Every structure is written in structure tokens, then in C-alpha cells.
Structure 1
Amino acid sequence: MADIVNLNRFRKTKVRALKDERAQQNRIDYGTPRALKALTAAQKALEDKKLAGKKRKTDDEPPKQHDPELHAPEQHDPEQHDKEPHES
């Protein structure tokens, strides 16, 4: 003879199994803690900053660093000054 099965218990077990599957999927989808999200965002920003620092310049970009030759004050050559005629 077959075992007697309590249908109410069977139904509740089935519902619990479905809830567990749904809970597992929700943990995957929404389970990332706020601190971990912030840490991941900070790490990504740091990687982006490092990568931007290693970017090669193109010809159409102006130089970003201070170039001493471009911004050097004009120096007067004393020999050139003596060779120029003075108007008095």
C-alpha cells in the first residue's frame, strides 16, 4: 500500500521551495551592500584616474604641463644692447 501524504504539508513545502529560489535570485540582484558599492565605485574612479594619467597626447591638444621654454622671460643679451645705435 502507498504511504499517506499530507497534502497541506506537500503544498507548504512546495511554496517554501519557490520562496527560497526567489530569495536566492533577489540576493544576487539586490544583495550588494552600500559599503561594497561605494568601495567598488571608488576603485573604479581610481583606475580611471590612473588610466587618464597614462593617456597619450594628440597633436590637437594643447600642452597641459608648464613648459619652461614657452613661458621663459626674455633675456637681454648685453652684446646686442651695445651694438644697437643710441638715439640722443
Structure 2
Amino acid sequence: MSKIWSFVNDLKVKKNHKITMFIWLTTILYGLTGGLIWLLIGRIFLPGTEWLICFMGYPAIFIGFFGGILYLYNHEFA
């Protein structure tokens, strides 16, 4: 997450926009990562669209959204 924050922090936008962009990027990144894992492994063992939604949704919400918020709370940014 620090690499994502350093990328967002280098942009010339307001602090509130940086925070919002960081949360969106982490949520999308971890959702896509879950989808990729489902394509590699889950499609064979757990076929179906509902499993794809689970593989994408849980990492996006818990790791991406809530993890991004916790990352921002635990770090001081100027």
C-alpha cells in the first residue's frame, strides 16, 4: 500500500482528493487481484459467477477499502 500511496502522493491534487483516490485505487486493485486468483484457481474448483463475486468482493472490501482506511489512520501525511 505504501507504493500506491507514494504514487498518489506525488500527484498535484488536494489532500482530500489524494485520500479518496488512494481508497478507490486500493479497492479496485484488490478486487482485480481476487478476480485473477479466481481465474487461475477458482474457475476449476469453484465455477460460477457467484464465486467470482465472492473472490473479488471480499478482498476489495476488507483488504482494499478497510485496509486502505487503516493504512491512512496509522500513518501521518503532510
Same fold? TM cut 0.5: no
Structure of greater relative contact order (alpha carbons < 8 Å, 6+ residues apart): 2
* TM-score, with structure 2 as normaliser: 0.32
* TM-score, with structure 1 as normaliser: 0.29
